[in-house]
Every structure is written in structure tokens, then in C-alpha cells.
Amino acid sequence: MSKVGFVGLGIMGKPMVLNLLKAGIETTVYDINPAAVDALKEAGAKGAVSPKELAGGNDVIITMVPNAKIVGILLEGPDGILAGVKPGTVIVDMSSVSPVDSKYFAELAKSKQCPFLDSPVSGGEPGAIHATLAFMVGGDEAVVEQIRDVYDAMGTSITVVGPNGSGSVAKLANQIMVNLNIAAVSEALILAQKAGADPKKVYEAVRGGLAGSTVLDAKAPMMFNRNFKPGGTLAINLKDITNVMDTAKSLEVPLILTSQLQQIMLSLKSDGHIMDDHSGIVQFYEKISGVEVKTPQK
């Protein structure tokens, strides 16, 4: 069974580590927040004082952090993962970064004779808690199979999309579909509310038809119940959509709806909603429509 070093113990990372421990996988953790490390040590994890120390004694190193800049800092430098890693250790970045970043990290890992997988996830905090995450992987399929026990402990879907960078491409595509779907749900419920219909009843009426989706079921109730506690913050999703637009620009691909979505998210940021769940996209439409999506209290 693989021994895992896990870096990044936030909304996603903490429950992912708990599921590794639940599966009996020996796990060492590191985070800049000592309290997060201590909480998981109480659950059975080992703690490391630096990424370098964490890297030395494990077969798999996983990074799950907010952006590519942080991944780079964790990998490089005198106290970084690559300073302590032994050849053959599998380095897995589960953060959401650009394909360019993933290919660069793969080259860094290769210089230390370490396989690298870019392996962003979908499923949000509920998926992390319930071990139902979907993994989109860029890298060697044989390496994925080598650490299959690690993936199986945290998720239910593991798809190798292609070589390094491909997992990050799939994640960008995922974020387009998820966030535009949330925007569409927002527009629909705004229309329903403005017309005098109960948005909860409208949701219940359409969810069993073609309009039904995982996004609808996850986000519509958050909207009409006024619950914007983040499972995935607007901040993280704006970062992902910005990566989408940067990648599209480099490929000369016009993404009309996604470019509008980026502007909506920037507007929400300026209004102080950046740490809300991305179901909070509805608040942009509420502001310009003069109506609040809310089911009547019984």
C-alpha cells in the first residue's frame, strides 16, 4: 500500500486526507496553518515541518493548493518537495492550474526522476467529504494504476485524459460547463421569481426533465435558501475561469459566454462576494434585476 505525503489541508484537502486515513493509507501532512496539521494528526496522520521533510519518506506526494504559484513554491527551493524527494516518487498535483503550468511542473519532476500527474478534481467539498471525487488525469496510465489505491480512497471516477497537461485541460472544460450552468440556473430562477413563482417549486418542476443536472441539484437549493457558504468559492472559480480565458487566448479560441461569465465574477468580487460559494453568481442577477431569489418560509 502506498505511503502518501499530502500538502494543502483546506476545504478540499482535509476531507481527502481523512478518507485516505479511513482507507488505512499511511499519510503525512503539511500546511502553512499548524492548526490544520494538528487536527489531522489527531485523526491519525503524521505531521511534517516542511515540504522537503514530507517528501523524503513517502511513495506519493499530493499537492492540493489554491494556485500554480503556490505549487511552484512547494516544489522548488531549498525546503521544497524536490529537495527531499527520492527518485521514483510519484508527484500528483490535484490543484486547478493551467496546462502550461502542469507541463512545467512535470519537467521539474522529471529532473528528479519522478513521474508527475496533473490530476485536478471535480465534485467540490461534498465529493471530498464522501470520497466521490472525479479525477481528470494527465500523465502515464501505468503510473495511475501504480497508485490506484490512493485514488480509490478519495474518489469514484479516475479518467486518464492524455499526457501531462491534459488533466488540467479537462478541468478547464469542466469549469466552463459548471459555472455557465450555474449562471443559467441563476437567470432561470431570477425570471421565475420576478414572475411571482416560487423558485423552489420551479426547481422541483424541471429537475426531472432535460434541464435536470448535478449542478442544478447542488446549486439551486443554495440559491433559494440563501445559503452561500462555500463548497467552492467564487475566488477559486474566478481563478479557474481566468485560466480558461488565458488558455483560450493562447489558442485563439473565442469563448463568448465564458468571457461574459468572467466579467460577472469580477463584478461580484468588487461587490464583496468573492468568498461566497459560486452559487452566489445569482447575486449578480439579483442586483441588476431588483429581485431576490428566495422560497417562501413555511
| Helix axes 166-194 and 256-270, enclosed angle (nearest 10) | 70
Q: Which of 226, 225, 229, 233 has its CA nearest to residue 265? A: 233
What count of other Cβ atoms lies within 10 Å of the Cβ of residue 138? 26
- The number of CA neighbours under 13 Å toward the Cβ of 247 is 23
Yes or no: say if 248 and 173 are a contact pair by the CB < 8 Å rule. no
Residue 226: all three cell numbers together = 440563501
Given 171, 200, 219, 239, which residue is catalytic? Answer: 171
112 is catalytic: no
Distances 241 to 97, 125, 182, 218, 234 between C-alpha atoms, Å: 10, 19, 13, 20, 10
Mind telling me the catalytic residues? 171
